[in-house]
Amino acid sequence: MTVNLNDWGAVARAVLLWLPAVIALAWLASRLLGVKMSWSRTIIAGIIGAGAGGALAQILAEQQRGAGFDRNLWIFTFVFTMSAVTWMALLSRPGTLARAQTGLARLPRPVKAAKRKGQRVARYAQITRIAARHGLGPALGFGRSRADDETGNVPTAVRVRRMLEDCGGIFVKLGQVASTRTDLLPASACAELAKLQDSVAPADPEEIRTLLETELGGPVDTVFDEFDWEPLAAASIGQVYQARLKSGERVVVKVQRPGIADAVARDLSVLDELARLVEDRSSWGRKYRISELAGEFADRLTDELDFRIEERTAKEIARALPRETRVRIPRVHSALTTARVLVLERFDGAAVSAAVWESDIERKELADELLRVVMHQMLIDGLFHADPHPGNVLLLNSGALGLIDFGGAGRLDPLQQAGLRDLFVAIGTRSPATMRQAVFEVAVPRGDADEDSIERALARFVAKYLSRSATPNAAMLNDLLQLCFTFELTLAPEMVTFFRALITLEGTLRVIAPGYLAIEAAQATAAEMVRARTMEPEAMQEIARDELLKALPTLRRLPNRMDRLLSQGERGLLRMRVSWLSDERDVAVLTGLLNRAVVAFLGGVVTLVSVLLMTSHAGPTLTGETSLYQFFGYFGLFCGTVLILRVLVASMRDGA
């Protein structure tokens, strides 16, 4: 049955009736082609296919007086829909469809989705405008910069800091985290990014009250006897207040900023898009795997949004403290703690940077105690305070030290702990060869590492920082991280967190005891821990048992393998098997070449078949002197030419 194209009502009714069938047809086409597409792309492909197929079927039906319209409509719609799916895959960004879009996981909410998409697009546009204003458009891979002459003369690190400040939100925190990645960024850039500070106005007290009452399940006055609505501190994620419980105990209450979860989700989505854009369009983005770094940052920030994680961290660190120690962890009131509210014991004291000290001896003793506790957390417990800056370490009225703010914590697995212990022992022995082995235990090479060059660089490192006349300091750790960066040795995020925490701890120890040799003391403490673990009978038995259990499967198979090897050698049957293409990079290169050859071959075949169809006058007349076969010949010639040109352009790009 044909449709009168001049009757817009009939056309609209036909579209409404055919839309579900068109979507189902597009979904079937994408599955047959093995292309994973979102529902929005599937609908677009179906509409394109239905429009092109319907138009062609209508033209043929008018010439044949309505004969075969329904049959042609289904056939042409399916063919053009499959073609649309293929072209959308070709036109998409590399890797987009492979990453994506796994289909309908839950019921769609178009209005809510459109609102969120609009917010993301607006935020994305705002950030790109800010980047362009600071002259960073080309570096980030999205067009030309409109920076003025004054901005163009400013160092890049300064422009990045200013851009992050203007973007606000999580981008300030992103810069703060990036300032600690001395393994990836130059020291000058890290120093500039370290100037970033949260400058967030306190949230409306009424909004805070509403959130508290929602989380606590009742009015604030029923839980707290007193509550000071003037925050002690206000940051991008939460605010801290002081209060008094009904029992009379003084506490601090950490409250998440209202609406921050949605803002963080929006900004993280924008950050993910920017990271993928930079990685796709810039060589430095691919080199440093910007999308992976953005993913690590997103995971860390998402954890910070759940205060129950901070609660568990504080409890776990408190349980692992030695019995006889002068370092205290605040007690958590778990009954009052939720995902968005954290209630902790309030310490009586002042930050070590503002504390009044009785004697230099006390300062030295407390510095030693804090170092031992944190090193034990790092190298033995595996869970440590990741940000022990002077504001997070208090001198209590009782004379002890208090550690607060466990929103940032680091975890090290046993292998990482063993590697770090070996690294500290290597620093103590001042042996470049031993240090090289230890470095390879804590870092993974991104490419083919030249071990001789690394050992020579470590020898220069030892001469500079570990000579008899040198005094080890935090600059030594920064240079060690820069050495890893120079030789493309990748450190796990946990290892970077460890080095950052150790550098921060050195600054805090120097505040507690001016002139304190933190790195030297850390090396001695680590060596003492290694000796203690290897000299204690229980520890030695545990180590020996673990090593024996690891080697037991190999030891059990060793006699049979040796016998088989000797027998084959006697009979002259000893052979060597080489595994080809065991390296992922070789597989990727070969796969790319094969894919290119297949595309070129298909393009050539399609072009030849299309030329034959163009010379044929058989088949129904489409329009004028053009037959249907000739139409498909022209269409196929276009497709074949595009495929061949894509291969040619890719080959020229690789050659350049």
pLDDT at 153: 74
- Cβ atoms 3, 56 nearer than 8 A: no
pLDDT class for 255, splitting at 50, 70, 90?
Answer: very high
All structural domains of the chain with their residue ranges: 8-99, 110-200+263-301, 350-564, 584-655
Give me the sign of the Cα torsion angle 75, 80, 81, 85.
positive
Q: Work out the average pLDDT over 643-652.
A: 71
Task: Read off the pLDDT band of 33 (50, 70, 90).
Answer: low
Strand partners, 410: 384
Mean pLDDT within 30-59: 75
Regarding predicted confidence, which is higher, 516 or 18?
516
Q: List beta partners, residue 384.
A: 410
Instruction: Say which residue, 178 or 580, is predicted with more confidence.
Output: 178
Least confident of 133-137, 250-254, 331-335, 383-387: 133-137
Q: Helices 474-486 and 493-512 meet at what angle, rounded to 10?
A: 160
Q: Is the pTM of this model over 0.75?
A: no
* Residue (of 238, 239, 241) closest to 263 by Cα position: 238
Write down the pLDDT at residue 338: 92
> Mean pLDDT over residues 129-134, rounded?
83
Higher pLDDT, 40 or 344: 344
Only one residue has tokens 């980047």, namely 131
pLDDT of residue 224: 93
Q: Which pairing describes strands 401-403 and 327-328: parallel, antiparallel, or unpaired? A: parallel
Determine the residue type at 127.
I
Q: Convert the pLDDT of each residue in 276-321 to its tens digit.
A: 877 777 776 766 667 777 887 888 888 888 999 999 999 999 998 9
- 258-278 pLDDT tens trace: 888 888 888 888 888 888 877
Determine the pLDDT at residue 95. 45
Does residue 401 register a pLDDT over 90? yes
Q: Which pLDDT belongs to residue 316?
A: 93
**Cα 576 to Cα 559: distance, rounded to the nearest angstrom:** 20
pLDDT category at 254 given cuts 50, 70, 90 is very high
User: Which pLDDT does position 102 carry in this prediction?
Assistant: 38
